[in-house]
Chains A and B, each alone.
Chain A
Amino acid sequence: MKHLALMATTALTLSAAPLWAQEAEETQVIGISIPAATHGWAGGMNYFAQAAVERLEEVYPQLDFVLATASDPSKQVSDIEDMVATRGIDALVVLPFESEPLTGPVKAVADQGVWITVVDRGLSEPGIEDLYVAGDNPGFGRVSGEYMVSALPEGGKVVALRGIPTTIDNERVAGFEEAIAGSGIEVLGMEHGNWNRDDAFTVMQDFLSKHSQIDAVWASDDDMAVGVLAAIEAAGRSDVKFVLGGAGMKEMIARTRDSDPMVPANVTYPPSMIASAIEITALGLVSDAPVAGRFIIGSELVTPENAEQYYFPDSPF
């Protein structure tokens, strides 16, 4: 990276032509493999990945990016194999669809000397990745639980909606249960709403039929919170004081900002963590700054006071 200025000039004059053909030694390629936008959060993650690539392509002309979205684990494995075979990537940023099926293929890429950044979902074998960027799932549950305790100081009856049965979901629920332990908050029931609005609507309708008194709902996700709020409104129930979602969907952040009593808070689990991963990986390639290690992005409590800084109007999520 000693001839950065020289390279930048060369890149500018040749910017229309594919650089890697003539200057394979100097242009470095970062491959990014992420799941397709199959739900709101993943949609946001796709948006932030594209935004990061666009920004970095301008800042670092010596870097090339290959972005592939996969709708299932086997497609993701093929994507990664193609990136290595046809583009000769120098670094791989991967958000594994599932941990198990991706571990072997990513390890094979790592063995070829490619820099590996794993995002959010860890691989099943430790030590493969050079950099790990992730949200804090136990922390997400803990912050949610602590908020419940502070919002219901006298204790109360709550129901909880869980996501798709995964490690992520288990860690969140464990964190939540730990935080409310001994607080007088009674969990009447937990069912899977699969991070889906329609499923959450159905589950919440049934919770309302089953329990005559519910003080609050831990929807644990903003897509599910949308369904939960609709079910409560349709049932005309006034016993539910508030719904705590999570992940920071812009519509929900806006409601918190505008002091909606039903949506008093949110807990972040930012889809923009993919951007952090891409930025740090790029930094590692173009500079001498050390970036190997673990980078855990904390889950923060959003309240009406600080909601404005978590509101991203352009993001689809």
Chain B
Amino acid sequence: MTTQVTRPGQPAGPGHGINLHVLGPIVALLVLIVAGALMNPNFLSYANITNVLARSAFIGIIAVGMTFVITAGGLDLSVGSMAAFIAGLMILVMNLLVPSMGAGISVILVGMAVALGAGLLAGFLNGFLITNMRIEAFIVTLGTMGIYRSLVTWLADGGTLSLDFGLREAYGPVYYGGLLGVSWPIIVFLVVAILGEIGMRKTAFGRYCAAIGSNDQVARYSSVDVNRIRLLTYVGLGLLVGIATIMYVPRLGSASSSTGVLWELEAIAAVIIGGTMLKGGFGRVWGTVVGVLILGLIDNLLNLTDWVSPYLNGAIQGVIIVLAVILQRENRPEG
């Protein structure tokens, strides 16, 4: 497609010096930040930044795991429902234990263990069906998406599961508290993102994911255990959904059938905005983090300004997502 670089309106090309493929998401993020600062003086306040980062953390933690799944040529549509189900399960178990163990740290630790265990199992189930049973990832996770969504509705009897009031006091600091003025969800998101970045760039696992995503036959001939690596990406994603749920439950202390709706699409959108290829073969964890921040900031900006009807929020979001992807399209080898 080298003939296309001289097309009018496309400034990028060989010799241009700036690689928009890499910078695209960052440019979009910067534009949003500058626009936000100009439109509302409170935008850059400590409280607002903390709000946006903390509420983006759930999608962010999940999206890091999603980056690996997509890089290895897979997809997971079940994460939002899975998070709702794990949240419901966690609340039920913790409420059950309060009479015998008291509303303290020990119950919270059990709850966290339940969340991590359930996440691992759910991820393993997805991965097992996809790799060993050889069913399309789209179909498997579409199925489990419906299953978990129904299960949480059933657990909650169609209503809302609420955490025991005493426990809520004890557990609340996990979302609202923090270290040196940085709240816990932000810290956890940061640690997950850094580990993810290292995992993607520096480890054999990351390279195997990319190899499988670009051509699983070649990877297989190069003695990569394709099924095992793929399974691991889903298990890892399940674990991260568990971690995200641990951070989510203390916020409102409740779970219902409307918990985590569309999280899967937000996570996938963040991954793609960040420059990971939807068809697999190339993944960028830091890009995913930028993608998550872009999505979080758009929502925040639309709430902070009045110049667009709230009916159009979805349209603005859509336009910015598409623009962010267009920005980084040009230098890609296949256009």
Are B257 and A207 neighbours in the complex by a CB distance under 8 Å? no
- Chain B residues near A189: list those with CB within 8 A: 306
A210 near B304: Cβ-Cβ < 8 Å: yes
Total count of chain A residues near the partner, CB < 8 A: 38
Q: Is A190 on the interface with B (CB-CB < 8 A)?
A: yes
A316 touches B303 (CB 8 A): no
State in angstroms the CA–CA spacing of A190 and B311 once bound together. 11
Asked if A203 is at the interface of the complex by the 8 Å CB criterion, the answer is yes
B156 to chain A, nearest CB (A): 7
Are the C-beta atoms of A43 and B251 separated by less than 8 Å?
A: no
Inter-subunit contact A190/B310 (CB<8 Å): yes
Stretch from A34-42, A89-97, A144-152, A240-248 forming part of the interface with B: A34-42
* B49 nearest in chain A by CB position: A209
Interface residue? A226 (CB, 8 A) = yes
The answer, yes or no, to whether B51 is at the interface (CB within 8 Å) is yes
Instruction: Type the 1/0 row for A14-50, where 1 means its CB is closer than 8 Å to any CB of B.
Output: 0000000000000000000000111110111011000
| B259 neighbours in A (Cβ, 8 Å) | 198
0/1 interface trace, chain B 249-276, chain A, CB 8 Å (1 if under): 0011010111101000000000000000
Contact yes or no, B310 A316, CB < 8 A:
no
> A196's closest neighbor in chain B, by CB?
B258
CB-based nearest B residue for A50: B158
Pick from B39-47, B104-112, B123-131, B213-221 the stretch touching chain A: B39-47
Q: How far is the CB of B79 from chain A (nearest CB, A)?
A: 15
Known: A37-B153, A40-B160, A209-B48. A201 touches B251 (CB 8 A): yes
Are B48 and A234 neighbours in the complex by a CB distance under 8 Å?
Answer: no
CA–CA, A46 to B254, complex, Å? Answer: 20
Q: When chains A and B are docked, how far (Å) is the Cα of A317 from the Cα of B159?
A: 6
Cα distance A189–B308 in the bound complex, in angstroms: 12
State the CA gap A196–B162 with chains docked (Å). Answer: 15
**Contact flag A316-B257 (CB < 8 Å), given A206-B51, A210-B42, A230-B252:** no
User: What is the bound-complex CA distance between A57 and B313, given in angstroms?
Assistant: 47
Is B227 on the interface with A (CB-CB < 8 A)?
no
Is there contact, CB below 8 Å, between B257 and A38?
A: yes
Contact, CB under 8 Å: A40 / B252: no
- The answer to whether A202 has its CB under 8 Å from any CB of chain B is yes
CA distance A213 to B109 in the complex (A): 39
Question: Does A165 contact B311, Cβ atoms closer than 8 Å?
Answer: yes
Q: For B313, give the chain A residue with the smallest CB separation.
A: A192
Taking the complex as formed, is A205 at the interface, i.e. its CB lies under 8 A from any CB of chain B? yes
Q: CB within 8 A of B157: which of A209, A234, A316? A: A316
Q: Which residue of B lies closest to A189 (CB)?
A: B306
Complexed CA–CA distance, A196 and B42 (Å)? 25
Answer whether residue B55 sits at the interface, using C-beta atoms and an 8 A cutoff: yes
Q: Chain A residue with minimal CB distance to B42?
A: A209
In this assembly, does B136 line the interface, its C-beta being within 8 Å of a C-beta of chain A? no
Minimum CB–CB distance for A273 against chain B, Å: 16
Q: Jot down 14 A-B pairs with beta carbons below 8 A, ordered by A.
A: A39-B256, A39-B257, A39-B258, A40-B159, A43-B156, A190-B310, A196-B261, A205-B55, A206-B51, A206-B304, A209-B45, A210-B40, A234-B176, A315-B159
Supplied contacts A201-B251, A208-B47, A230-B251, 7 more A-B pairs, CB within 8 Å: A37-B257, A40-B159, A43-B257, A192-B313, A206-B48, A210-B42, A223-B160
